[in-house]
Chains A and B, each alone.
Chain A
């Protein structure tokens, strides 16, 4: 993959957001807030960080990306389409009968997905198993990236994996936590407090970085730092805004599991196209 420049990456993140809005409006169901919040991270991963080949999704030297919080799959589908894994028109089949783009991602249906996810809390341990297999094979050229939500850190399976990864020192595994502070029933700190989150992971033996998850340069730098850290496994707490880029969705947990209707989608696309009024849209 050709690596994009920073301005190009920011533009790509915006394209991904517009894809997400169009997909969800067309599907009439699905999750808005998480995917929008993850768009900058996915732009950075698919267009700069990951070693991958959209024309050869099973390439044996590729890096692995696990999306543990499978409900955010629209952002992955959008990034994959933008990268050329499949035609962008196919995004409009999201959640429809016969589609390769299932409501939650299914590996066996769409080349380029690394696992099937949706039920929360089990992505990290799958990523750990992959990293462990690479460690056994003494493969030092491939990296395993795993994205988790913050709400899913409620799951015990996550902390079982956290202990295991540290025990085995799987420093070829890099975890990005999407710290957007919401889950279905409300703010994470009300539903089930996670703080002090950084200290928890550090106590489990991890190297922890905290970044602005909307700054693609920070995402890229943090991944570089993580790859260079070999004495511990690495975790990046990416602070994000749920619904980022669409002002009426931002920070509102009600958008966790809801799609925009057609008027809302029109408004959202206008906001994205004009970067919230900062620039004039050519469509106006």
Chain B
């Protein structure tokens, strides 16, 4: 497909953390709109808010280690016409401050952008306390909330610019580790849109965030085994792109979802909810299976918890061999 980067599945693919794309996007958003402000809870460098903070010191607010205060101050700033991006590690925001987000941002309908960096088990050596896995579930359950999980740094940059203009409470989920840049600068990104990145007919692998790259590599592995997997990249978990998801599900007749988060109540559950009410069919949710992560190298952890390309390919192969194709 034209919007995919070259060298997918090889060591030559370029790598960069999604948070780096956010850093560039926020800086650009700040240049475009002087109402954009940044708030951070003592993690300015690692959340990549630092470029914005240095360029616009007067519009940058250092909150200290106080995430509840960060999101509520952001709510107040939004009330006065600011466009606040409030950033910490996802384990702390939204992890530490869910009720404040619920009441003062979602129910109160203020367009605060919560930016949760270092989400997922790929955080690595820091271990389970810092590997946020429940944030997608926490955020997508909230009325008015938009949930975006970019697949790579280019998309994170585009998503940041889009969120600066969507005028809605929003959650942007980012990762710590360098991951493959599988999109291209000209690839489209629109909040609420899913993208078919690889066409197939045997099984639809739907992935969100950096897991999409693993799904693309899995599709290559499956092709060698004569299985034609479709890969749907779903960077917006809420609102879900029902048309694209239903179309791919109908075309393939069986679905696998992949996310670097708890399988319970997360992205896969959202897909399941949609399909069970429209085109019921077998959906296998890959993600963390009701357990916490642990310390280790990111790639080691993805392998251990079954979230790398070989595991996705194996699951797809099993699903294809065991499940009939529904609605075909």
Contact = CB atoms under 8 A, between A and B. Distances in A.
B103 interface: yes
Contact of A157 (B72, B84, B109): B72
Chain B residues touching A, majority SS: helix
B190 interface: no
B73 interface: yes
A160 B68 contact: yes
A115 B104 contact: yes
A164 B82 CA distance: 18
B77 A157 contact: no
Contact of B77 (A117, A122, A130, A161): A130
B59 A106 contact: no
Contacts of B73: 125-126, 128-129, 132, 161, 164
A106 B77 contact: no
B69 A125 contact: yes
B64 A126 contact: no
A129 B75 contact: yes
A157 B74 contact: no
Contacts of A161: 69, 72-73
A127 interface: yes
A163 interface: yes
Given A108-B108, A114-B79, A132 B61 contact: yes
B235 to A, nearest CB: 28
A74 B176 CA distance: 47
B46 interface: no
B63 A164 contact: yes
B103 A122 contact: yes
B103 A118 contact: yes
A169 to B, nearest CB: 13
A200 interface: no
A108 B109 contact: yes
B80 interface: yes
A115 B108 contact: yes
Contacts of B69: 125, 128, 157, 160-161, 164
Contacts of A116: 103-104, 107-108
Contacts of A137: 80
B37 interface: yes
A146 to B, nearest CB: 10
Interface in B89-145: 99-100, 103-104, 107-109
B72 A129 contact: yes
A116 B75 CA distance: 11
B108 A134 contact: no
B81 interface: yes
A129 B79 contact: yes
B31 to A, nearest CB: 17
A226 B252 CA distance: 68
A112 to B, nearest CB: 14
A157 B103 CA distance: 14
Contacts of B306: none
A107 interface: yes
Interface of A: 106-108, 114-119, 121-122, 125-134, 136-137, 156-157, 160-161, 163-164, 168
Interface of B: 37, 58-59, 61, 63-64, 66, 68-69, 72-82, 84, 99-100, 103-104, 107-109
The 8 closest A-B pairs by CB, nearest first: A129-B76, A133-B80, A160-B69, A125-B72, A129-B73, A126-B76, A160-B66, A116-B108
Given A116-B108, A126-B79, A134-B80, 10 more contacts: A117-B104, A122-B100, A126-B73, A128-B69, A128-B73, A130-B80, A157-B69, A161-B72, A161-B73, A168-B61
25 contacts: A106-B107, A106-B108, A108-B107, A108-B109, A115-B108, A116-B108, A122-B68, A125-B76, A126-B76, A126-B104, A128-B73, A129-B72, A129-B75, A129-B77, A129-B84, A133-B37, A133-B80, A133-B82, A136-B59, A136-B82, A137-B80, A157-B69, A157-B72, A161-B69, A164-B73
